[in-house]
Amino acid sequence: MKKYLLLFLYFLFIFSFHSQVKNSSFSYFNLNTTYKKVQHSAIQPYLESHQLQPDTNNVKYKKKILNKLFSESLLDVVDDEAHLKLDPLFNFSLGPRNNELNYRYYSNVRGLKISGDLGSNLSFETRFYENQFFYADYLREKSDLRSNPSMGVDGIAFGLGRSKRFKNYGNDASLANGYLSFSPNKHLNFQIGHGRHFFGNGYRSHLISDYAPDYPYLSGQYYLFKNKLLYKHVTAWMRNLNRIPAASTPEALFVPKSFSFNQLSFSPNDKLSIAIFEGGIYKMFDIQNDNISPSFSFYSPIIGSKFFDIDSTNNIMYGINWSYKILDNIMIYNQIPVNLTNALYGFQLGLKWCNPFKLDNSFLNFEWNSSPPGMYSMKRLQRYQTYSHLGHELAHPLGSGFQEFLIIGQFSKERLFLRFNYNFSLSMNNYNENEVFEANEDLLFSVRDDNYRHFLSSSVGLFLNSSSKMEIALGYTSRITNYSNENYFSISWRTYLKNDYFDQ
């Protein structure tokens, strides 16, 4: 027994390596300019030491003050065994006035990001945001629709969680996340944190997306067969926006649920990648018994084990994602999500073009998404196992029952950029009432009309700092549906480190 223990410790610690084991940012416009360098690209967030090559495009200036302004973090401390960085996080945006309700659309986001490497195998990051803002009308309406004042929920702040009322029509919300990442050797990585994940190569995902707010999680990922195989499992704990009934405190806890998923990616070469997803929402609360333990497969890190828990209690999803590089800078990808309980499947097909027309720091993305009605729905008695977290869909922001085509991209020339996002959707439900939260029984009798939506968002601006992704931009947004036509101009100064997904 002692011999095997010594062999195990040798395997864990003798192959130490000197690299960062932090996660990359989810920023879609920054990541996709270098996607061709990513290994096992369907499993996100990317681990810098394994899936991303070092960024060699960072400009170095002769004067220290220019490096500090345009290339480096606000605080960058390097010691023999430690590397610490500190950057401000903010989004100051100003838009037009709503004359009818007498307020101006704006965003006032302030925060801080601290990250570091302690030795060669341990990294960490923590972020905090404080947010006050006035949404565009369509977002404010959707936020209000998901409010529940009797339970202390004034609305939802998209990507942040529940929000409090701010000056009658605004939102006030905070966000804190972070993680600790440990790699005992170059084949293993373990994390504990409060964050989010993404599966797929597209702008959207039908399985797990970074749209929903952060959640506590534990994860492990393993690189095998000379990094041709990547296996990752995540165990997470989430909440519904419903208070536990008959609680002893005025502001009771929200009804809990658990979520775990296993992912397997195989990349035999630098062109082809095939990934499999298995995930499920598990029951953790019962009206009669209060908190209960989830099924065994929630704890199981073995892919395939959730198949035995496909019933009316647990919400189990499967999916496959593959990508192939037609050329060195052009990739085609496809995702197929499957709900075996409801016998339904969706579809995604896309194409990415990195550095089109020989423009560095640029990309162009075409994508088509299709999801049938009731893709993620549960029976009325299982409403606490909806495929959601804190009033947000875990996958696509439109929920299910839609067709969507989008074009998204960025063209850059030195520090100047042009960014755009156009998508057209045809939905069989009201955009303010996505089906993820509707019971299967209710879907059978609901009246369905085709609703279309055109969404266009564009901005032109300047990159200011490559480390904090600081930029200043002028933007325009237009949203046209069967019932409304909204147009907004804005000016923003921000650090672009997370995705907003306001194109709903």
Per the CB < 8 A criterion, the answer to whether 317 and 207 are in contact is yes
Position 6 scores a pLDDT of 43
End-to-end CA, the chain? 58
Position 182 scores a pLDDT of 96
Is the CA virtual torsion 190, 194, 200, 202 positive or negative?
Answer: negative
Q: Is the pLDDT of residue 19 over 60?
A: no
Average pLDDT over residues 358-383: 91
Reported as a single tens digit per residue, the pLDDT across 83-125 is 999 999 999 999 999 989 999 999 999 999 999 998 889 999 9
Q: Is the pLDDT of residue 315 over 70?
A: yes
Q: Is the pLDDT of residue 503 over 50?
A: yes
Average pLDDT over residues 335-352: 94
Per the CB < 8 A criterion, the answer to whether 451 and 426 are in contact is yes
Q: Is the pLDDT of residue 438 over 90?
A: no
3-state secondary structure 418-443: EEEEEEEEEECCCCCCCHHHCCHHHH
Position 409 scores a pLDDT of 96
Q: Which two tokens stand for residue 209?
A: 């997306």
Q: What residues are paired with 296 via a beta bridge?
A: none
Average pLDDT over residues 297-325: 89
Query: In 3-state terms, what secondary structure has residue 112?
Result: strand
Reported as a single tens digit per residue, the pLDDT across 271-289 is 999 999 999 999 888 776 6
Domains delineated in the chain? 17-370 (2.40.160)
Q: Is the pLDDT of residue 465 over 80?
A: yes
Average pLDDT over residues 59-81: 79
Banded model confidence at residue 218, pLDDT cuts 50, 70, 90:
very high
Among 343, 486, 482, which Cα is nearest to 426's? 482
DSSP 16: -
Per the CB < 8 A criterion, the answer to whether 36 and 331 are in contact is yes
Q: Where are the alpha helices (DSSP H) in 333-447?
A: 440-443
**Does the bond joining 45 to the residue before it have cis omega, within 30 degrees of 0?**
yes
| Span of 2-11, 133-142, 295-304, 360-369 with lowest mean pLDDT | 2-11
**Does the bond joining 397 to the residue before it have cis omega, within 30 degrees of 0?**
no
Q: What whole-number distance in Å separates Cα of residue 55 and Cα of residue 34?
A: 9
Average pLDDT over residues 373-381: 88
**What stretch of H or E contains 492?**
strand 485-495
Position 427 scores a pLDDT of 85
Average pLDDT over residues 348-365: 94
Q: Which long-range contacts link 471-476 to residues 24+ away (Cβ below 8 Å)?
A: 471/417, 471/495, 471/496, 473/417, 473/419, 475/93
Average pLDDT, the chain: 87
Q: What whole-number distance in Å separates Cα of residue 23 and Cα of residue 31?
A: 12
Share of the chain above pLDDT 90, in %: 58
| 411 C-beta neighbours (distance < 10 Å), count | 17
Among 455, 499, 468, 419, which Cα is nearest to 70's? 468
Q: Which two tokens stand for residue 192?
A: 């504990």
Average pLDDT over residues 188-197: 96
Banded model confidence at residue 488, pLDDT cuts 50, 70, 90:
very high
Reported as a single tens digit per residue, the pLDDT across 21-54 is 899 888 888 777 665 678 899 999 998 877 665 5
With a CB cutoff of 8 Å and minimum separation 6, the contacts of 60 are 67, 71
Highest mean pLDDT among 149-158, 161-170, 311-320, 417-426: 417-426
Position 16 scores a pLDDT of 41
Banded model confidence at residue 444, pLDDT cuts 50, 70, 90:
low
Position 430 scores a pLDDT of 56
Position 11 scores a pLDDT of 39
Position 58 scores a pLDDT of 58
| Span of 4-13, 175-184, 204-213, 402-411 with lowest mean pLDDT | 4-13
| Span of 182-186, 197-201, 294-298, 371-375 with lowest mean pLDDT | 294-298
Q: Which two tokens stand for residue 451?
A: 């609703």
Phi, psi of 401, deg, nearest 5: 80, 50
Position 332 scores a pLDDT of 97
Q: What residues are paired with 424 via a beta bridge?
A: 405, 454
Banded model confidence at residue 248, pLDDT cuts 50, 70, 90:
very low
Burial of 327 by CB count in 10 Å (0-12 exposed, 13-18 middle, 19+ buried)?
Answer: exposed
Q: What whole-number distance in Å separates Cα of residue 191 and Cα of residue 363?
A: 31
Q: Is the pLDDT of residue 13 over 50?
A: no
